[in-house]
Structure 1
Amino acid sequence: MPHPTPAVVLDRITHVWPDGTTALHEVSGAFGAGRTGLVGRNGSGKTTLLRLVAGTLAPSSGAVTAAGRVELLPQRLTLDVDRRVADLVGVAAVVDAVRAVESGDVDPRHFDTIGDDWDAEARATAALAAAGLPPGALDRRVGELSGGEAVLAALVGVQLRRAEVALLDEPTNNLDRDARERVAEIVRSWRGALIVVSHDTRLLELMDDTAELYGSELSVFGGPYSAWRAWRDAEQAAARAAETTAAAALRREKRDRIEAETTLARRAAMGAKAQREKRVPGIVAGNRASAAQVSAGKVRGAASDREATARAALDAAGRRVRDDDAVRIDLPDPGVAAGRRIATIADGDRSWVVQGPERVALVGPNGAGKTTLLERLVGSARAHSSASAGSAPEGPGAGAEERKARSYGTATAHTHRVGYLSQRIDGLREGDSVLESVRAAAPTATDAELRNRLARFLLRGDTVMRPVAALSGGERFRLALARELLGDPPPQLLVLDEPTNNLDLDTVDQLVDALAAYRGAVIVVSHDEGFLARLAPTLTLEVRDGRVTET
């Protein structure tokens, strides 16, 4: 239910980066006092907007008004691993002061620090336990926590500090299923205004409102993500239908105007002929010509007005239709027959063979060994390639691998044509241009061919000459995907490690479509259950403590 008093008001906010790039231009709008999910495409300015609301960035122009203190949980936590968790949570000073008083130190400064917050340690301990952190976590070092535990502890800190407005930027990134559920529980019980940027659709379903940042316009819909998405899709369908109707009306008015012009021209010619042949007196012919000119002017004016009105209606309808490009992949068949053995994943006496264009999902908690398994798979492909070239493969021999398989999951590729997108997308050279990066994977292709293929990944125009270091997160992902899929020859197996991290929801849609069009095998690690459901894997394997089981 909409809240009558907004928690945050934006008044024509503009932010320009030092290099002159405009991140946001005169954005206006308001966030309610409940829970709001903020969505938008990569590069639309969502993180910048949160930083402006939090005050860590100053707007170039415009004003932000917040109903109280604002706390921001950034997308990337800058963690001092030697600090105590109590510092991360924000209760260290109060906890230390209470402990000092309880040990007999009655320094007035301790009482000033404590104020009325004598139960800070108990509240923090209970909140950390509820978030799934181990006993005694408050006094542990941050470096002793996993990445997911550190995010949960920081989130608990934001909650405990009781800011009137809390901002969370992609809080579930890199978190496993259990940690995501704990974040969801915290969000469900949140008191106060909460603005969450996320591509996690399950988290967005917990929101009271959904706000979208699109083309420097902020719109707010009363309802969770699924309701907003249904409304947006229906609105766009109606907009496209209105555009089609308006285009037909404009064509009709053009046709009517041309027919009217033809009729007027024919009448004028007939009148001129009659005057030349003197079939009517000159004065009568002149009066008729003058009247015809007046009538023709009215007809032309009316037709022109109707055509202009139809054109304006088409322009208005066209502005409602979003011109969002989509990744389109049209690649050569990588030659994966239905019965072709592509890879084997094994654990002890059990093994699973990936055959043909299968989709395989690897799931499991953080730190279970999923990425290690992928790296072994990719490493075996490189060894396979070296062996095919006539050199000895690196690493342990078959006997060592068999012994390892009996105690720990292993993965082996039966092809050297493997494309690998790591979780960090770290296989790109920062100084190379987009075109140079892809040319390295497809050296026989011409620049024109590469530009045409890159355009299908929405990398076009001057963008292909930009260095990798200047790309946005979404652009880097599309480049990495293009580099793997445009390789010559194309890969028979595509290996993806958490591919939806930091991708906006529309780009996730594009990734699903791209993988549906890809005619090779796919092995993917992901905690994004919505993405996995749409991928529809033929096999799902759980990795836990390095062991592999089928689910």
Structure 2
Amino acid sequence: MSSTVVVSDLTFAWPDGTPVFDGLDAALGPGHVGLVGANGAGKSTLLRLIAGELRPVRGSISVPGGLGYLRQDLGLAAGQHVDAVLGIAGVRKALHRIESGEGDETDFETVGTRWDVEEHAIALLGRLGLHYLADDVAQLDRRLDTLSGGETVLLGLVAELLREPGVLLLDEPTNNLDSVARQRLYEVVGQFPGTVLTVSHDRELLGRVGTVAELRQGEVRLFGGNFDDYEAIVEAEQEAARAAVREARSDVRKQSRELVEARIKLDRRKRYGQKMQENKREPKIIMSERKRQAQVSAGKLRNSHIAKVDEAKEQLAQVQERVRDDREIRVDLPDTRLYPGQDVIELNEVELANGPVVSLTVTGPERIALTGRNGAGKTTLLRRIAAAPPKVPARTLPQRLDIFDERRSVFENVAAATPHVSAERVRAQLARFLFRGADADVAAAALSGGERLRAALAMLLLADPAPRLLLLDEPTNNLDLPSLRHLTEALTAFEGALIVVSHDPRFLDEIGVTRRIELTPEGLLEDSPG
């Protein structure tokens, strides 16, 4: 248990009083643990509490050894230098002064035992594929604005590893990483000797963990094995829960029928008693006693059946709580349809800022995966495609999903994009994106990450005119797994052309990619899917 993070009676609420955890107990580790849960469950909040960035209202957190924490947003300034990000700038300066004969006692104290700090940093940079930074010690003086987003993430990981922590917290570590960089990260994280606690939607990374910790309804439940094992266990439990719901519903119907039958029987007895009294065929005292006994018997029978119905309904409510919300987006988008051979995009010898000259032709309902190393210029190419003269209506789904008027509701945003569609039709369509009733009237600024994705998809796919080309830039970044499923469902229903920048091979397979194009320094290199 020496490398296990222990959380005891953890209670936390946001300043506005919104509760997140109330008496949470959990033991996370040892080994590699994948922390999963829906958007808003509190995964990143729990990491921040463990890291000490947030203070709990009550409870304690025990973290063995040092702690490394790779955030989603590294918060690094473009003007910073590589060695400053790695946390070794001060040691390097002291080391250089000592080597030049100008060092003093303070410099020796600063260096301590870290005489090989530069070599250690360069070795780690090389292991993570940042070879050009590892070529020369002088590269440690390089500015961050010369690195891509993915390279900056890897640099942040190196910074945490240099601390030699006992526990490593990773929050969506593969965001913005190309496939090669991801494989490097998998290897380095897999060789980490302490406890790794990872929040991620990357199913390949989650496939390498030894334990899955599910954060749901303010509690943590541990599952032995990787993410595939977790899904199999949950699906088996859900099948049993659905069967229990079917059985409980059947019992409610049965008990309700029996209650109706009992009432009919009692009504018949009552009518018979009234008829006998009217005919006065028996002495009054006997008839009164029979009436009293009948009323007592009727009350017992009626109460017995009512109790059985109530019990059956309570049992149904209990088993329904075990069934998870597995709602699916179901949309029909015939107006987005393209036909084979129909012209979509024609880009001729466009020069990108980083050098390559590219040409691209898209026809019909093609689904294109645009890949390439970090810094290759994929986002730039996507912008050039969006700016090209359109042959069909096109829409872009940006990484930040910043396409809303934040003051307006979901309904108002979608209605503004569909001015010729009736309000009733807009609401009906929003319901298919799981915005039912009052959910459609929530302000965009108040949406969670998963809700924001669904609202953005609704706004794009229901727009007037309907888009026949969608451009998506790393659409799976920061999505929880239910939201990733919703994105896949919506794109599967889309009948137009797609150009997707993504490094998630499973996602690309699930949306039915038909062409894979890699952006290289020499231009576009096409490969067959799969």
Q: TM-score, structure 1 length as denominator?
A: 0.86
Q: Deviations over 1:492-513 (max 9, x none)?
A: 1112111111111111111111
| Pairwise CA RMSD | 2.7
Shift in alpha-carbon separation, 1:377–1:546, aligned structure 2, 3 A: farther
Shift in alpha-carbon separation, 1:326–1:19, aligned structure 2, 3 A: farther
1:67 matched to 2:64: yes
Letter in 1 for 2:463: G
1:359 matched to 2:367: yes
* 1:403 match: none
SS at match of 1:329: coil
1:81 to partner: Cα distance: 3.1
1:480 to partner: Cα distance: 2.7
1:102 matched to 2:99: yes
Q: Deviations over 1:375-429 (max 9, x none)?
A: 222212xx34xxxxxxxxxxxxxxxxxxxxxxxxxxxxx32x1111233434444
SS at match of 2:420: coil
Q: State how 1:168-187 maps to structure 2 within 5 Å.
A: 168-187=170-189
1:270 to partner: Cα distance: 2.1
2:111 to 105, 110, 114: 114
1:51 to 48, 53, 69: 48
Q: Name which of structure 1's ranges 490-499 and 473-482 shifts more when overlaid on structure 2.
A: 473-482
Shift in alpha-carbon separation, 1:280–1:468, aligned structure 2, 3 A: closer
* 1:393 match: none
Q: State how 1:180-259 maps to structure 2 within 5 Å.
A: 180-259=182-261
Contact 1:425 1:480 in 2 (8 A): yes
Q: State how 1:404-415 maps to structure 2 within 5 Å.
A: 414-415=391-392
Shift in alpha-carbon separation, 1:334–1:15, aligned structure 2, 3 A: same
* 2:322 match: 320
1:275 to partner: Cα distance: 3.9
Structure 2 distance, partners of 1:377, 1:65, is 51
1:519 to 478, 492, 495: 495
Q: State how 1:301-316 maps to structure 2 within 5 Å.
A: 301-316=303-318
Shift in alpha-carbon separation, 1:89–1:212, aligned structure 2, 3 A: same
Shift in alpha-carbon separation, 1:157–1:308, aligned structure 2, 3 A: same
Shift in alpha-carbon separation, 1:260–1:472, aligned structure 2, 3 A: closer
1:7 matched to 2:20: no
Contact 2:8 2:23 in 1 (8 A): no
* 2:297 match: 295
* 1:451 match: 427
Structure 2 distance, partners of 1:110, 1:96, is 8
Structure 2 distance, partners of 1:520, 1:76, is 33
Structure 1 distance, partners of 2:202, 2:377, is 23
Letter in 2 for 1:14: F
Letter in 2 for 1:55: G
Uncovered stretches (5+) of structure 1, i.e. residues with no partner: 385-413
1:212 to partner: Cα distance: 1.8
1:495 matched to 2:471: yes
* 1:375 match: 383
Letter in 2 for 1:321: V
1:368 to partner: Cα distance: 2.0
1:76 to 73, 82, 86: 73
1:246 to partner: Cα distance: 0.2
Contact 2:94 2:103 in 1 (8 A): no
* 2:125 match: 128
* 2:524 match: 548
Contact 2:6 2:61 in 1 (8 A): yes
Q: Name which of structure 1's ranges 167-176 and 125-134 shifts more when overlaid on structure 2.
A: 125-134
Structure 2 distance, partners of 1:236, 1:144, is 49
1:89 to 86, 89, 105: 86
Structure 1 distance, partners of 2:3, 2:285, is 78
Letter in 1 for 2:510: R
Contact 1:127 1:156 in 2 (8 A): yes
Q: State how 1:449-488 maps to structure 2 within 5 Å.
A: 449-459=425-435, 464=440, 468-488=444-464
1:160 matched to 2:162: yes
Q: Deviations over 1:180-220 (max 9, x none)?
A: 11111111011212111111111111111111222323222
Shift in alpha-carbon separation, 1:546–1:436, aligned structure 2, 3 A: farther
* 2:353 match: none
Uncovered stretches (5+) of structure 2, i.e. residues with no partner: 351-356
Structure 2 distance, partners of 1:532, 1:10, is 41
Aligned residues: 516
Q: TM-score, structure 2 length as denominator?
A: 0.89
Contact 2:81 2:140 in 1 (8 A): yes
Shift in alpha-carbon separation, 1:528–1:102, aligned structure 2, 3 A: same
1:294 to partner: Cα distance: 3.6
Shift in alpha-carbon separation, 1:438–1:298, aligned structure 2, 3 A: closer
Contact 1:347 1:548 in 2 (8 A): no
